[in-house]
Structure 1
Amino acid sequence: MTELLNVVRQYKQDPESVYSTWFINNEDRLKAFRSIRRGVLTVVQDIKTGSFGNDFKGSSLEFVLTCITEQKQVFEGAAHPFYWKPKLRIPDIYENEANKVAFGQFLETCLSATKEEQLVKQIIKLSERNIKGLGPAVASILYFLHPTLIPPFNTAIVNGFNLLFNEKQKLGSWTSYLKMREVILHTNAQYRTELSTDLGAIAGLLFEIGANKLLIESSAALDDTQKTKVEKLLKKRHAEVLSEQQEEDLHTEMQYHLVKIGHALGYDVVVASNDRSKAYQDSKFSFLCIPCLPKMEADQDTFNTIGLIDVLWLEKGTNRVVSAFEVEKSTSIYSGILRLSDLAVSFPHNLRTLFLVVPNQREKEVILQLKRPSIKQQNVPIQYILFSELRQHCDAICKFGTDHNAMTKIAKVA
C-alpha cells in the first residue's frame, strides 16, 4: 500500500507527467468531452440514416477519434484500431451492415446509460458478437462519455497495468479489459483522495508506467539498452511539454489580441470560463473582461458550451453576442465549429459574426472542414482569420475600427 502510494505521489509531483500536463489545468481536455459526445451522437445518426459510409476516412467516426487523439499522448494511437484495413476486413463495421448497426446501437445505448451495470451489459453484448477487429479500443470512446465508470484502454495502459499489478492481461480481449476495469476501479477507490473520481487520472498513471516514463520497483532494474530507451522517452516527453507550452502561449496571445480589439471597440468582452485568470505579457484578462458570461435563454449544457468559447464580444450591458471567436492552435477545428454552431443554433434570430482563428499552416485544413456538407447544411456563416493577420492588424483595428464588422476585413470565407 505504501509503495503504491509513493508511486501515485511521484506521478502527481512530476511537472511533466500526464497528470500535470493533461489531467489538471487543461481547458482542451474539458472542451473535448462535449465535442466527443456530440460527435458520437452524429455517428449514431449517420448509421441510422445510412449515411455513415464504408470507410473510416471522412466518416463522423473519424471526427470523434480525431478529437480523442488530440488528448495528450495517452490517446495518441486511439484512431489506429478504427482505420479500415481492406485486406484484413477489419474492423468489420464498415462493409458488414449488421455489425455497423450493432455498433451504432451499442453507442446509442451507452450514450443514454446512467448506471454502471448498463454499460457493462452493453460491453458484454458487443463482445459476444465477435465483430472482427473491434475490441476494447472502443473503451477510449466510452471514457469520454462516462469518465467515472469506464477507463480508457491502449497498449501502454495494459503494459502499465501488468507491471503494476503483476498481471498478464491481453490487449485485444474484452474479458481482459473487464478484469482490468474491476482492479482499476477498486484501486482508484482506495486512492481517490490522491487521484480522482475521473478515471483519466489513474489511466494516466498506468500509461506513464507502461511507457517507461515512471519507473516502479518491479521495472527499476534496467540494463543499459533499456536505460537508453527510457532516457530517450523522457527527452521526447520534455520536448512535447515545451512545444505544448509554446502553443499555449500562442493561444493566449491570440486571445489577448481579440480581447484588446473588442475592448477598444466598446464591447463587453468575455473569455472562456477556464481562461479568465490568464494574462498576456503584463495585461491580465480579468482587467479587460467582464467577470462572467451573462445569463442567456439556453439550456444549461448549451450555456456551459457557449461559456467555453475562447472570446465573445457582447453589446455593452446586455447578453447579446455580437461576435464569437474560437482560437484553434493544434486542437480539433471541428470541435471549435461545434461550439460556434451551438451558439448560432441557440440564438438564430440574433445577427452575429463567427470566426475561427487559426495558424497559417492550418488554412487548408480549416477550409476543408468548413466545406464539409454536414457543416454547410447547418447554414452557420463561419469565417476564419489567420494568426499572422490578427497579429499584424490588431493595433490598426483598435485605432480605426468602428464596430465588429472591422474583423471581416481581415477574415476569409471558405
Structure 2
Amino acid sequence: MNIELQELLEKYKCDKESVFNTWFINNDERLKAFRSIRRGVQKVILEIKTKEFGNDYKGSSLEFVLNCITEQKQVFIGASHAFYWKPKLRIPDIYENEENKMAFGQFLENCYNATREDRILKEIIHLDQRKIKGLGPAVVNILYFLHPEIIPPFNTAIVNGFNHLFKENIKLGSWQEYLRMREIIIGKNSQHRSILSKDLGAFSGLLFDIGVKKLMVGDEGALSDDEKVKIEKLLKKRHKEVTNEKEEEDLHTEMQYHLLKIGHSLGYDVISASNDRSRCHDGTNFSFISLPGFPDIGVDRDTNNTIALIDVIWFEKGTNKIVCAFEVEKSTSIYSGILRLTDLYFSFPEDPSSLFLIIPDNREKELELQLSRPAIKGNNIEIHYILFSDLRKHCDAICTFGDSKETLKKIAKVVN
C-alpha cells in the first residue's frame, strides 16, 4: 500500500471543507438524488421507446435527469453541458438521429438493468463502437447514480486531479481514456477502501479537490511500471472479449432479421424473442415487421415465457397458431436451443410446428452430434437446420419466389 497516498486520503477525509465532508457524508440530498435520478432515467428510456422523447434537450426528460445531477454541485458542476443540443455542430447526435436515439435508450436500459460490472463495461464499449458524435464519457455522470460502486463520475476537474495525482495524461472526450482512468481509480480505492468508501463518489471527490487546487499534492499516487502494464493488459483483454461478443450479437441479429423478413414476405405474422424486439438490422427495426406482443397461445405462464424466448416464431396470419419456430445459435450451447424447441413441440404434440436451428457453418458437425443424442432422437422430433451462409444467400430469393414455409425447407437439412 502506498503510504503517502494513504496519508493524503486521511488529510482529505479530515478536512471539514473537502468534498468528502461537504457532499459525500451525511447528506440527505445526495441520497434523495439517487432515487430521483433513477426514476428520471426510467422515464427517458420509456420516452425513447415510445418515440415521445423529442428532438431537443430543453424540456426533455433527460434535462430533468441532468438537472437533478447538477443540483449536487461540486463534483457535478457542468455535467449537463455535454447534453445541450448544439444544432450547428449536430452534437450530441441523439436528438435528430432516430437510430442513435434508440441506441442511447437501449444503452441506458441495459445499464439500468445490469447487475454485474462486466455487463456495464461491455455496454460502454458497445456505445463507444457506435461512434455517436458528441456522446462521450460525460454519460457516466448518469451511470454513477445507477452504479456508484462501479462507475466513477467524470469531468474536467476530476481528470485534472487524476492526472496530477497519478502522473498520467488522460484526455477528455475519449471512452478508452475514461476506462483506463476508471481501472486505476477502482484499484486504488480498493487498496484504501477502509479509509473512504466502496462508493466511488468519495474517491472522485478527492480527485475533484486536487483538480480545482483545493488540495495540493506531490508524487503520492504515481503508478509503478508493473501497475501500468497490468492495467493495459486488462483493458486490451476486455476490449477483445467485447469486440468478439459484439460480432456474434450482430450475426445473431442479422439471422433473426432474415427470418422475420422471410416470414413476413410469405404472409405470416412474425415475432422475435421478447428480449430482442428493440433490435435493428440494416436500418430496419424488428418492431416494424413484428407483432406488437406475443399472442395468447393457451399454455401456462412458465411455458409461455419459455416459448416467448425462442428467437423467431411465425404464426398463421391473424391467429395464435404457431407454424414455424427458429433458434439462432452462436457460441453458446446448442443444446439449450434444442430444448426450447422441444418444449414447444410437447406443448402442442397434436399440432406440431416446423422447428429449425440456424447455425454458423463451422458448427454443423457439433449440431449433428447433438441431434444424434439418444435423448433427442428418442423423442422422434424432426428438427431442421440451416447454415448462416445459406440463409443469408437465399433470403431475398425466398422472399420473392417462396409461397409457404415449405420453401424454407429447400435450403434446410436434417440429421437422419
- The Cα shift of 1:23 comes to 0.2
8 Å Cα contact 1:19/1:204 also seen in 2: yes
Q: Where does residue 182 of structure 2 map in the other structure?
A: 181
Cα-to-partner distance string for 1:36-57 (whole Å, 9 max, x where unaligned): 0000000000001111010000
Cα shift readout 1:305-332 (whole Å, capped 9, x = no counterpart): xxxxxxxxxxxxxxxxxxxxxxxxxxxx
Q: Cα deviations across residues 138-189 of structure 1 (Å, max 9, x unaligned)?
A: 0110000000001011111111111111000111000000001110000000
Question: Partner residue of 1:206?
Answer: 207
Alignment of 1:10-409 (within 5 A): 10-217=11-218
The question of whether the paired residues in 2 share the 8 Å contact of 1:148 and 1:199 is answered with yes
**Structure 2 Cα separation of the partners of residues 61 and 6 of structure 1:** 40
Give the letter for the 1:197 counterpart.
K
The amino acid that maps onto 1:13 is: C
Distance of 1:213 and 1:85 partners within structure 2: 33
Aligned partner of residue 145 in structure 1, secondary structure: coil
CA distance in 1, matches of 2:157, 2:129: 25
Distance 2:97 2:209 in 1: 37
- The alpha-carbon deviation at position 192 of structure 1 amounts to 0.1
| 8 Å CA contact 1:81, 1:91 repeated in 2 | yes
Q: Find the aligned partners of 1:198 and 1:181 in 2 and give their Cα distance.
A: 13
1:7 & 1:89 partners in 2: Cα distance? 43
Equivalent AA in structure 1 for residue 207 of structure 2: L
Question: Distance between the aligned counterparts of 2:105 and 2:146, measured in 1?
Answer: 15
Residue 72 (structure 1) shift: 2.5
Between the aligned partners of 2:88 and 2:74, the Cα distance in structure 1 is 29
Deviation at 1:191, TM superposition (A): 0.4
CA-based RMSD of the aligned residues comes to 1.0
Cα offset for 1:198? 0.3
Contact 2:128/2:175 (CA < 8 Å) preserved in 1? yes
Q: Work out whether residues 166 and 219 of structure 2, in 8 Å CA contact, stay in contact via their aligned partners in 1.
A: no
Take 1:73 and 1:198, find their aligned partners in 2: how far apart are those partners?
A: 16
AA matched with 1:180: M
Query: What letter matches 1:152 in structure 2?
Result: P
Amino acid in structure 2 at the alignment position of 1:182: E
Q: CA 1:181–1:69 in structure 2 vs 1: closer, same or farther (change >3 Å)?
A: same
Identity of aligned residues (%): 68
Runs of 4+ in 1 over 4 A off after TM superposition: none
Cα separation, 2, equivalents of 1:66 and 1:187: 30
Kept in 2, the 8 Å contact 1:48–1:101? The answer is yes
Structure 1 contact 140–152 (Cα < 8 Å) conserved: yes
User: CA–CA distance in 1 between the matches of 2:150 and 2:74?
Assistant: 21
d(CA) in 1 for partners of 2:86, 2:218: 40
- Deviation digits for residues 80-126 of structure 1, max 9, x if unmatched? 00000001100000001100000000000000000000000000000
| Residue identity in the other structure for 2:206 | L
Matches of 1:127 and 1:178, distance apart in 2? 11
| Structure 1 residues 256-315: Cα deviation after superposition (integer angstroms, max 9, x where no partner) | xxxxxxxxxxxxxxxxxxxxxxxxxxxxxxxxxxxxxxxxxxxxxxxxxxxxxxxxxxxx
Q: Secondary structure at the match of 1:152?
A: coil
Q: Unaligned stretches of 5+ in structure 2? A: 221-416
Instruction: Quote the Cα distance in structure 2 between the aligned partners of 1:117 and 1:218.
Output: 32
Report the alpha carbon displacement of residue 218 of structure 1 after superposing the two structures with TM.
Answer: 5.0
CA contact (8 A) 2:162 2:168 kept: yes
Q: Distance in 1 between matches of 2:77 and 2:33?
A: 14
Report deviation, 1:207. Answer: 0.6
Would you say the 8 A contact 2:12–2:18 is kept in 1?
Answer: yes
- 8 Å contact kept, 2:56–2:95: yes
Unaligned runs of 5+ in 1: 220-414
Structure 1: which amino acid aligns with 2:6? L
Deviations 1:208-259 (A, max 9, x none): 111111100259xxxxxxxxxxxxxxxxxxxxxxxxxxxxxxxxxxxxxxxx
Measure, in 2, the Cα distance between the counterparts of 1:213 and 1:97. Answer: 43
SS of equivalent residue, structure 1 residue 144:
coil
Shift of 1:6: 1.3
Shift of 1:194: 0.3
Taking the aligned partners of 1:132 and 1:7, their CA distance within structure 2 comes to 38
1:18 and 1:72 in contact (8 A); partners too? no
The letter for the 2-side match of 1:177 is Y
Deviation at 1:77, TM superposition (A): 0.4
Q: Provide the rounded CA distance (Å) in 2 between the counterparts of 1:61 and 1:138.
A: 11
Cα distance in 2 for residues equivalent to 1:120 and 1:218? 30
Point out the structure with max Rg over C-alpha.
2
* Distance (Å, rounded) in 2 between the aligned partners of 1:6 and 1:171: 28
